[in-house]
Every structure is written in C-alpha cells, then in structure tokens.
Amino acid sequence: MTQKTLFARYLKDLPEGQLQWIGLRPGHKQEMRSVESVQAIARLGLEGDHRCYKTPDSGRQVTLISTEFIHIIGTYTGLGQIQPALLRRNLVVSGINLNALRHQQFRIGGALFEATALCHPCNRMNQTLGQGGAAAMLGYGGLCARILESGEIRLGDSLSPVIS
C-alpha cells in the first residue's frame, strides 16, 4: 500500500479547513509580507514569492501550517502567541489536520494543490523562536505542496480535500 493510498482513506472524514493568512517572501531570507489574496501559478508557486520562478515543478512551491500547530509550537516554546510570519510558511489554515493531507490533493479557492512532504523546521527557527524552537516544531511544521492548477486564493477561502 502506497502512502498516498494510506492517507486517502481518511479524506472522507476530514472537515474543510479555512485559509487564515497568506505570506510571501520577496527574496531569500527576507521578511514575510502578508497579503489578502494571491495568484497560485501551476508548476511554479505563489506570484510574488521568491520561490515562484526558481525551480519549476518543485515539491516545495508552497508551504502550509495550521493555526492549531502554531498554538502547539507556542506552548512548547513558552512564547504563547506566535505571529505566522515568524514561521516562514506561506499559508496558514485552520480547522483541518494537515498531516492527514500528506500526498493528497486539495483545493483552496480557485487553485488545486498536492501535498508533497512534511515541512521540517530548519535551525533558523532556533534564532527566531529561541533555543529549542526547531525541536518544538518537529511534527508540527506543516506541509510542502505543489500547485497543479492555477487560481486565485483569498483569505477566508475553504481548504477542501479532493476525494477521488
């Protein structure tokens, strides 16, 4: 049984999620810029994000994390409230367990995505969140995804698993 098949059996039980925050990095290691909407471009990434035209067909065109994961990271680090931009993920969603979407397709607004892998934290999180920040994110770093169909995504859009 493939991982895709393994995770697919849970899709019918997942609720819809909701897009809460969108962040773009204009350049490598630059500050995140929060926006209300963005064009997701198939095979490339989010328009205005530094990864967009860098490596076509990459499995890391977009990164996602959930508000629920952010709360857990805040608890583990002792920081409490953490601003999404600090975690350097493009999309923050709520109401859905992102780990159940691994290797699956889902829609946000007009775009179709495919989750490719877990988004593991880097050592930079120790600088941002303090010593142990990267360890606090293990298992809660969210997902990497590629864009299969272009479309606009906006704050408040639903995240819906695609059940085939």
Spell out the domains of the chain, with CATH numbers in brackets: 3-140 (2.40.33.20)
Q: Provide the edge-to-edge strand list for the sheet that holds 37-41.
A: 45-46, 37-41, 151-154
Which pTM was predicted? Answer: 0.93
Digit-by-digit pLDDT tens for the chain (164 residues) are 676 665 566 667 778 999 999 999 998 888 999 999 999 999 999 999 998 988 889 999 999 999 999 999 999 999 999 999 999 999 999 999 999 999 999 999 999 999 999 999 988 899 999 999 999 999 999 999 999 999 999 999 999 999 87
SS3 90: coil
Question: What is the per-residue pLDDT for 29?
Answer: 81
The per-residue pLDDT for range 42-69, each reduced to its tens digit, is 999 999 999 898 888 999 999 999 999 9
Backbone angles phi, psi at 81, to 5 degrees: -75, 130
Beta bridge partners of 158: 18
Q: Identify whether the C-beta of residue 104 lies closer than 8 Å to the C-beta of residue 114.
A: yes
Distance from C-alpha of 102 to C-alpha of 57, rounded to nearest angstrom: 17
Residue ranges with strand state E in 67-161 = 91-94, 105-108, 111-118, 143-149, 151-154, 158-161
